[in-house]
Amino acid sequence: MKQVRMPGRRLTAVAVAAVLAATGGAVAVPAAAAPVGAFAGDEQQTAVTFPLSSTLVSAGESGFLTRQSGEYAQTRWIRYADGSSTSLPVSADAVRGGVSDVVVTGDQATSLTQWRRLKVHDMATGAAPVEIDLDRLGPNYTYRGNAGASLVVAVKKADGTMEAHLVGRTGDVVSDRTVTGLPEGTVGFSMAAASSGAVTLIAVSGPSEARVYHRVAVDVAAGAVTDTYPTTGRQTPSGAVSSTHMAWTEESPLGIVVAKRGSSETQRIPVTNMYNHRYGLVGDWLVSGYAATPGSSDPALVARSLTDPGVSVRLMDRLSSLVPGPNGTLLVRGGTADRGEGLYRVSPGADGRPAAELVSAPGDPITAVLGSEVPQIVDFDRSSGVDFTWRLSHRNAKVYLRLTHKRTGESTENLIWAPGVGFADRGEQTVGWTWSGDFQGDWLSEAPNGEYSWELDVEPIDRSAAQVTRTGTLTVVRKPAPHDYSDNGTPDVFARDWSGRLWKVDPDTLSNVPLNGYGREVGNGWEGYDRLESVGDVSGSNAPDTIARDRNGGLWLFRGTGLTRTPLESRTPLGGGWNTYDQLAGGSDLTGDGRADLVAFDKAGDLWLYKGAGSDTSVYAPRKKVGWGWGIYNQITAVGNVGGGPAGDLLARDKAGVLWLYPGKGDGTFASRVRLGGGWSAYTHLVGIGDANKDGRPDLYAYGHDGETYLYRGTGDWRAPFAARQFAQVYNHTGDSYDQVF
């Protein structure tokens, strides 16, 4: 054993006598320093609080080490006796604990392999730390971990192989012991686990193209390898060791391998996730469970007998962190349904089976939703945004809100709070969300009308408690809107491509341009119709309907459903003889009775009115002649009340491309036409789509020969009813153009 003298601060006299005793360098806790009742009973133990936003790092006889998460991460040593704590004045990344009251800190906030000047702190006595300078031992010394006050150090030799050393310090004397018995040709190792008197290493040997991995147990007092086991497949850099067993995880097949020390006997316990799994050893039992994270199916902590397969004991209902404790125990951060959240010690009970005993309670309230303000009725006709708020016991959590539209089953989920993310601060314990009406579902659009269920999920950042869920309902209401086939307050456009597929274009709520977006396919087989028209709600269902004329002159009604994916029901016949008409236009209330009407002009140029009857058995009243001379037009479009008059209006385009407005008089007839301008032959289809930009006035949609489309916003002025056009491109996923738009 090599010894090097170093200047510097010393341990107390009592501690000096204890250092490097038979435990091989672990600092023994003096009897006078041991806290009275530290493990003596629940009444005293539960007076100690566990920081809510912290993770358990290590534990000893007198206290335990925690690491706080978040922006101001720090480590604290908390004493069982009185709950007092000591903060380590270094970065949380530069602190390592062992299975004792000893904590080691380094001079780098990066990887521990970069640490050169280390400090060994005896937290039981509070003595000044002793320093160990690895550079004084040699540049080839690299820190790997510690077991109590014994530092586990890798020392690279000139031939490229690696030795394991145990380094400690008493006063000015640094001890440097070489571990014997490593696998021959070891070229590297990492430290996997520690117990009160042993550490396990992952040792690597062999050439680079044929590496061989072993798990080895090192007796710290003897400085020698006592057990060596070959491993296969990818494995995690963790493990567990006790006086009787070793354990580690391997990927192929996925499971925990448990080896009985002193023999070649091993057994494998299957697991489903090697990285989210926590495990340890208590006597002849493997204690394991999954850390409580979002999506965990069962975060319970369970002990499985290693001597009696099939026998298991459920210890706790959830856990977040687990570390080995002194004297073959485990310390677990988690909770049980009857005793709540906190720090538990797992040790053999009177019958030899492990049992969980509460050591400390949480320092903050368990996560809870204390109150909420969620509106029962949401009317987006009256407000562009609605506030939801919830009051929590604390906000150290990620909070998700899921809304599910009950009629369709579609859901949208939003992260509405997470520490440090930048959400609006609504108060110390309050989280909230302002809903502007957008709804992801399976297609980003406005939220459809109807009843919703809401679900609030609160997931503590530090996993100190199980996820808390609260639920409720609300209803979105709007007035029925023209051309709104999705029942979400915004107009939609139907388009048929040349192969007969029908597409519905939903407004893109992320765009400043209404109707700018992609279409979704909602049907096929529509090539048999030569005229398609959106005619408003003519069947009394509160959803707009569509009519289609086949090439034999038969007219068919497709009732609207108000559903995004299936907006139209199967067709029902309305009668034959409709091929007498050159043009059809529907959707406007031309008679002032609140129902959508239909107009058509025949080959003689006579204009006929079909007044809406508002019944699914009698859609239109018998026709009535309301004009003549309409044969000069090649397209007519019902656009609603764009001129500010008493009823819906009509647009007509003549064969020279001039567009005319016919203001409705409210009785199914029209006032004198108003010339709106020329050049409208550039469009194959003009569609009165209702209010696309939510300003209360109906708008016009125009589809061009070249596939380019435009929106003309309504002004409400009969002399100039439309503003300058605005590009509003509509796409489908095939890139094909459309031959019918309505």
Look at 91 and 62; give whichever has higher pLDDT. 62
Q: Smallest Cα–Cα separation from 619: which of 676, 560, 678?
A: 560
HSE-CB for 633 with a 13 A CA cutoff: 27
Cα(662)–Cα(635) distance, rounded to whole angstroms? 13
Distances (CA, A) of 740 to 82, 129, 464, 507, 564: 80, 83, 59, 19, 20
Compute the CA torsion angle 732, 709, 723, 510 (nearest 10 deg): 30
Separation between Cα atoms, residue 249 and residue 373, nearest integer Å: 47
pLDDT of 629 > 60? The answer is yes
Compute the average pLDDT of residues 359-375. 74
Among 522, 519, 578, CA closest to 548: 578
Terminal Cα distance for the chain, rounded: 91
Tokens of 356: 């969980």
Per-residue model confidence (pLDDT) at position 644? 83
Query: What is d(CA 412, CA 578) in angstroms, rounded to the nearest whole number?
Result: 44
d(CA 110, CA 105): 12
Which has more pLDDT, 6 or 264? Answer: 264
The whole-angstrom separation of Cα 92 and Cα 65 is 11
Tens digit of each residue's pLDDT (9 = 90 or more) over 163-219 = 999 999 988 899 999 999 999 999 999 999 998 889 999 999 988 888 899 999 999
Q: Is the model more confident about 529 or about 497?
A: 529
* Predicted local distance difference test score (pLDDT) of residue 457: 94
**Concatenated DSSP letters of 578-626:** GGGEEEEEE-S-SSSSSS--EEEEETT--EEEE-B---SS--BPPPEEE
pLDDT of residue 631: 94
List, in order, residues 6 or more apart from 173 with CB less than 8 Å away: 3, 4, 5, 6
Average pLDDT value for residue range 465-471: 83
Model pTM score: 0.54
In percent, how much of the chain has pLDDT > 70? 85
Q: Are 474 and 452 in contact (CB under 8 A)?
A: yes
Whether pLDDT at 265 is above 50: yes
Give φ, ψ of 590 to 5 degrees: -95, -10
18 Cβ contact partners less than 8 Å away, ≥ 6 residues apart: 27, 28, 29, 30
pLDDT in tens, 692-741: 887 888 999 888 877 778 889 989 888 899 999 888 765 544 455 678 88
Distances 604 to 464, 607, 611, 630, 708 between C-alpha atoms, Å: 81, 9, 21, 8, 33
pLDDT at 442: 57
CA–CA separation, 662 and 491 (whole Å): 23
Residue 733 CB burial class (10 angstroms; 0-12, 13-18, ≥19)? exposed
